[in-house]
Structure 1
Amino acid sequence: MKKIAYLIKRYGVKNVVLRAINDVLPVNLIFPSQQLRRLNWQEKVKKKLKKYVVISDSIKSEEECDIIWWLWFQGLDNAPAIVKKCRESVDKYAKRSGKRVIELTSQNLFEYIEVPNELYVKYKSGSLPLALFSDFCRISLLSNYGGLWIDSTVLITGEIEDEILNQDIFMFQASPLDYSVTKISNWMLYSKYPGHPFISSIRDTLISFYNKNNTIPDYFLFHLLVSCLIDDNRINQSFYDMDYYTNTYPHLLGRVLSEPYDTLKFENILRKTSIHKLSYKNLDNVAEDSFYNAILGLDFS
């Protein structure tokens, strides 16, 4: 019952019921996995989200931004060990690349962004999960200032390629070989300049949705709204101009955190990418010889 109450609080009664019906419809029972049923659900949600699309008339600035935005609401001192290690790696990268890190917490975040009242109320009441509020924060920061957003659980083990940073905007994308409704990842986002129309359109579309809704239809709301914009010929050219980088390689290290450490496997992953999306969850009882503990032992001084 607690789980049902939690789902209703987050997604609303209507969406919980519709999702349950979606999963037991005869046509969906033929799908061999929960993943396929989820994709079917997200396709339905996406169609309903298109009415919230807002195309921004923002004009990008020509002044490049060298800021790395990094957020942990409770402050770095209260972060899990893996988050602190990720931050060390970001600081080292920033130092050698000439960028500056702005650390954001619940105490200083609102010095940098303005939050519509409807969204702020949801944040303060706890009805909007911090992860989804963070989605709004990151895109607002990039719209207002530009720069590089790096999630608190992203580890940087080398350089971020010039091919990424020379683009006007960047986000990792799902492989075209894997059918995905969400299409992109948002744990690392980049906008070379403030006011980029595609970035600002994401922000304005999020605001459009939250102004009219008290609950969310899917945890990946941000991604689904971006997918709607990708389908919109009025604004999508800048997305298709962006170089493609798969989001597959950055997840390789995160998938083996609890496994026994293997030097060859670790080096192989590092050859594929210097950007790694990790997690701080379910790591309390991992073995001493795990990848997780090996990462905690890395020196980024």
Structure 2
Amino acid sequence: MNTLKKIKSYYSELQSIQSDWGLKTLYKLRLKPLWIHYIINGGKGDRLDLEFEALTDYLINDNQELINKYQQKDSNQTPIGETAPIWVCWWQGEKQMPELVKQCYKLLKKYSGTHPVKLLTKNNYQEYIKLPPRIIMFFQIGIITIAQLSDIMRMYLISTYGGIWIDSTYWITRPFNISSEPFISVKSGNKYEPFIPRGRWAGNFIGGTKGDKYFCFMYEALVNYWNKHEHLIDYFLIDYFTLIAYNHFPDIKKQIDLYTCYCPNLTTLKMNIPYNVSNLKEIIEKNNFLKLSWKWQLHRQSNDGSPTVYNYFLSL
């Protein structure tokens, strides 16, 4: 079933690319990488690298004027500050949070220190955010999903107010202090992971100062994209634009390399396994932040009746 869903999803993606960009772009972005990987390279190497490169090149050409504009700007090295807000979003509101999300939110507030936590919902987001009418319209009719809207929102918020965007499913394991840094993200350090960041950053945990070059560029790039197009070319669009910034602006590359918090187990924690005190203690000591997911079926007890890591997490 999962394989069938993936095939249908990929086919739907190809149809979207063709309808918005035409056959020539469809060939460059999807069909040519497949041809090179399977026919020319005999299935050897990383097919994703070919797709990443093709789409990155397309987006560079599509945004060359914007890239040239930001090459003339400098990054803001002002510290984030002790009272910069932490932005978190749960569209339906706190009362509608699943159990795991509620616990993550509770721990975030517990360890946020002097940073005020701002919960964004469908009822209050417009108090902080003024998005272009086209973006709002696309969201209302379903062209832009809530995931894509939140990408735009985080870049608007940080470029406008400063602060840190933390996804609603992050387990904050202990107090943290990032007030003296001009930029923050988290990374697994795994350069072999099958995603654009290759373990160098996480777009769902990212922060900086008001007016910072990276966040201003990202917001403009995302808005420009939707001004030109009516279909999402890739779910991880935010990572493609971050990669472009990383490769084109040495000051942004330096920010990401220097001020990204290393969490080796960032996305690999298994919640349904039996709770082992020493094992989990070691993971928590190595990781100030752990990315969880509420979409999996989670259990308080393992198959043998032992309390699980998830059960421990809920007890905190």
TM-score by length of 2: 0.79
Report the equivalent of 1:260: 274
Q: Which moved more, 1:279-288 or 1:60-69?
A: 60-69
Structure 1 residues 176 and 74, CA gap change in structure 2 (3 angstroms): closer
Cα displacement string for residues 152-199 of structure 1 (whole angstroms, at most 9, x for unaligned residues): 001111122x4x4322112224637437633421121111x2111121
Report the equivalent of 2:192: 178
Displacement after TM superposition at 1:233 (Å): 3.5
State the distance in 2 between where 1:215 and 1:148 align: 28
Structure 1 residues 251 and 8, CA gap change in structure 2 (3 angstroms): same
Report the equivalent of 2:286: 272
Letter in 2 for 1:44: A
Structure 2 unaligned blocks of 5 or more: 19-24
In structure 1, which of residues 212, 216, 236 is the aligned counterpart of residue 228 of structure 2? Answer: 212
Structure 1 residues 111 and 10, CA gap change in structure 2 (3 angstroms): farther
Verify the 8 A CA contact 2:165 2:207 in the aligned structure 1.
yes
Structure 1 unaligned blocks of 5 or more: none
Q: Secondary structure at the match of 2:152?
A: helix
Cα displacement string for residues 204-253 of structure 1 (whole angstroms, at most 9, x for unaligned residues): 11111111111122211100111001111376365367334335332242
Structure 1 residues 117 and 92, CA gap change in structure 2 (3 angstroms): same
Identity percentage over the alignment? 23
State the distance in 1 between where 2:124 and 2:41 align: 46
Verify the 8 A CA contact 1:10 1:127 in the aligned structure 2.
no
Letter in 2 for 1:41: E
Structure 1 residues 30 and 63, CA gap change in structure 2 (3 angstroms): closer
Report the equivalent of 1:26: 39
Structure 1 residues 45 and 63, CA gap change in structure 2 (3 angstroms): closer
State the distance in 1 between where 2:91 and 2:114 align: 25
RMSD of equivalent CA atoms: 3.1
Report the equivalent of 1:167: 181
Structure 1 residues 63 and 98, CA gap change in structure 2 (3 angstroms): closer
Q: Secondary structure at the match of 1:114?
A: coil
Report the equivalent of 1:251: 267
Verify the 8 A CA contact 1:58 1:200 in the aligned structure 2.
no
Q: Which moved more, 1:239-248 or 1:73-82?
A: 239-248
Structure 1 residues 30 and 113, CA gap change in structure 2 (3 angstroms): same
Report the equivalent of 2:120: 104
Q: Does 1:189 align with 2:200?
A: no
Verify the 8 A CA contact 1:67 1:148 in the aligned structure 2.
yes
State the distance in 1 between where 2:149 and 2:310 align: 28
Structure 1 residues 155 and 244, CA gap change in structure 2 (3 angstroms): closer
State the distance in 2 between where 1:233 and 1:59 align: 9
Displacement after TM superposition at 1:141 (Å): 0.5
Q: Does 1:129 align with 2:142?
A: no
Q: Secondary structure at the match of 1:245?
A: strand
Alignment of 1:23-172 (within 5 A): 23=34, 25-27=38-40, 30-31=43-44, 36-51=46-61, 52=63, 54=66, 55-56=69-70, 64=81, 65-94=83-112, 97-160=113-176, 162=177, 164-172=178-186
Aligned length, in residue pairs: 288
Letter in 2 for 1:145: Y
TM-score by length of 1: 0.83
Verify the 8 A CA contact 1:175 1:247 in the aligned structure 2.
yes
Alignment of 1:201-240 (within 5 A): 201-233=217-249, 236=252, 239=255
Q: Does 1:12 align with 2:16?
A: yes
